[in-house]
Structure 1
Amino acid sequence: MLNRPNQSTNNQQQNQTSQSKSTAKWKTYDDPVQIPILMYHAVHVMDPSETSNANLIVAPDNFEAQIKAMVDAGYYFLTPEETYKAFSENVLPAKKVVWLTFDDGNEDFYTIAYPILKKYKAKATNNIITGFVKKGNVGNLTVKQMKEMIAHGMSFQSHTVNHPDLSVTDKATQKDELTNSIDFLEDKLNTKVNTIAYPSGRYNQTTLDLAKKTYKLGLTTNEGLASANDGLLSLNRVRILPTTTAKGLLSKITTDNK
């Protein structure tokens, strides 16, 4: 979770989102498919006061270079629903796929990342701390902003209500965190939610037992390519650091899918 000064750079573009009405032909694979699930948090120019969160912040020009590199390399940007289909049926809509995920629901996803994503017609998912949205916290996305972005191919999934360490949270509280967050998102956004991103990547067996009653996919902070072999509720992700170059990113997301 990132605490940062409020920034607002309203640079929206009206390009249509790519793959919004996908005509992809899904191919079945013999070996378990691998999917790079990228993990971002914030996209903005880091303020000197944010040094403690430095590894969570990617500069806008670096982010744009990464998106452009993936587009130029022919990557297909997955939605949560497509990712579940890929893992559950062992199929892919293209040889090169990637799922862009952001944690925490920071406002710079709307003001900075979203215009870049629209420019390159790329899709992405932001995992929302719903309690922060409900309280109207400064620096977090609003329901209005999320609704606008959904119309352009973005999606919003759960990052719990209050961002607790689930690994040391009692069962009743965990249940509330997992169910109340999905209820809020589905009610306010009129959309289906199938994914939980565990706060700080921390969870336990109780978390997994509760999650499987409500969610189809669970995102960890464990480093690596994601595979159904890891369990659909404990998927790896590829962490994107401030120092990750576009070239370095492409090397991180190369899979063995054949």
Structure 2
Amino acid sequence: MTRKIIVFVFVYILFLIKPYSIYGYHEQEIPILMYHHLEENINNNTVISPENFENQMKLLKMEGYHAISAQQLYDYLNGQTPLPQKPVLITFDDGYFSNYEKAYPILKKYGMHAEIFVIASRILGNNENNHYPNESAKMSWDQLKEMKDYITIQSHTWDLHYKLPSENGKLNGAVFGPSFVNGQLESQDAYEDRVRNDFIRSRKIIKEKLGYEPIAISYPYGIYSLSTLKIAKEAGFKMAFVIQNKHVKKGDAIFTLSRITINGNDTGEAFIHKLKATPEKTYKQAA
């Protein structure tokens, strides 16, 4: 009788012990943070001051968050690799020089990995000056190489970060669908060829310059269509990101993974709330 009781207690304890206690929860909700540019004394939806960015990275460290890579996220979502407890994916869009000059040293200081989605046509070669004087300066390929210990480069298209008039006359993202190009409405095939060639070109140049192909793309402005998703897959991407201000979990569509807009004005409390909560409201999308 005593032996039966011992066996029963043992089985009961095994039932109570969750098999994921070492590696993190099975149904983790992963915050994917979206940043853009860093600038002194400016804080809004697309710009954050270096001081506030450092405060946020410090908070991540203090709260026990582990900055993961896009590859780790992909492996987890496909059931291949467990994630650490309290994972977070830190991302930047566009490829601003401030990411190298200001964000990179802070990421290194706190041991945080990040992904930068670059507009590949804007990345400078050796000794090149900024080709777009009306835009904030972008990085060079050498600077991207230098950051490889804490940063992986992904695609934000080769050169489709703008809007075009669509069939209904309204401006829409250049990757969204058939648009008026040079005054003519392109066919579905022409649209798909235009976007596919751009996506493939972005992957090829990153492979040529950095030695690896990006696995992910973030759609400019977070705008996409079903055709965009199909083209991204055809171009060789394994995953893609939009802006829906909610967390990512297993079962989410791999080509519309949500990111959370981080405002430079977020207080520490607001920042941590975005990490812990899944907001129902979708905030204004950024580039």
Return the TM-score normalized by structure 1: 0.81
Based on CA coordinates, which of the two structures has the bigger radius of gyration? 2
**2:105 equivalent to 1:115:** yes
Q: In the aligned structure 2, how far is the partner of 1:158 from the partner of 1:46?
A: 29
User: Which sits farther off after the overlay, 220-229 or 201-210?
Assistant: 220-229
**2:157 equivalent to 1:160:** yes
1:248 to 258, 261, 270: 270
**Structure 1: gaps of 5 or more residues:** 1-24, 48-52
Aligned pairs for 1:225-240 (under 5 A) are 225-240=247-262
- SS at structure 2 position matched to 1:211: helix
Percent of aligned pairs with the same residue? 29
Q: In the aligned structure 2, how far is the partner of 1:73 from the partner of 1:46?
A: 26
- SS at structure 2 position matched to 1:227: coil
**2:57 equivalent to 1:35:** no
Q: Which residue of 2 aligns with 1:189?
A: 210
Q: Determine which structure has greater relative contact order: mean sequence separation of CA pairs < 8 Å that are 6+ residues apart, divided by chain length.
A: 1
- Contact kept in structure 2, 1:27 and 1:91, CA below 8 Å: no
Misfit runs of 4+, over 6 Å: none
Q: Give 2:58's aligned amino acid.
A: K
Q: In the aligned structure 2, how far is the partner of 1:253 from the partner of 1:245?
A: 13
User: Which sits farther off after the overlay, 107-116 or 202-211?
Assistant: 202-211
Q: Deviations over 1:201-244 (max 9, x none)?
A: 11111110111231111010111111243301101111001211
Q: Give 2:141's aligned amino acid.
A: V
Q: Give 1:218's aligned amino acid.
A: A
- Contact kept in structure 2, 1:46 and 1:57, CA below 8 Å: no
Number of matched residues?
225
**2:114 equivalent to 1:93:** no
Q: Give 1:88's aligned amino acid.
A: N
- SS at structure 1 position matched to 2:78: helix
TM-fit CA distance, 1:192: 3.2
**Structure 2: gaps of 5 or more residues:** 1-20, 131-136, 163-172, 179-190, 279-287
Q: Give 2:39's aligned amino acid.
A: H
- Contact kept in structure 2, 1:26 and 1:92, CA below 8 Å: no
- Contact kept in structure 2, 1:43 and 1:59, CA below 8 Å: yes
Q: In the aligned structure 2, how far is the partner of 1:206 from the partner of 1:64?
A: 39
Q: Deviations over 1:152-205 (max 9, x none)?
A: 221100000112421135111110121110111111100231000001111111
Q: Deviations over 1:45-101 (max 9, x none)?
A: 257xxxxx9421011111000000001111111111111011111753312000000
**Alpha carbon RMSD of aligned pairs, Å?**
2.2
**2:227 equivalent to 1:206:** yes
Q: Deviations over 1:98-127 (max 9, x none)?
A: 000000000000000001111111111100
- SS at structure 1 position matched to 2:122: helix
Q: In the aligned structure 2, how far is the partner of 1:225 from the partner of 1:137?
A: 38
**2:92 equivalent to 1:102:** yes
- Contact kept in structure 2, 1:46 and 1:54, CA below 8 Å: no
1:145 to 116, 127, 143: 143
Q: Which residue of 1 aligns with 2:243?
A: 221
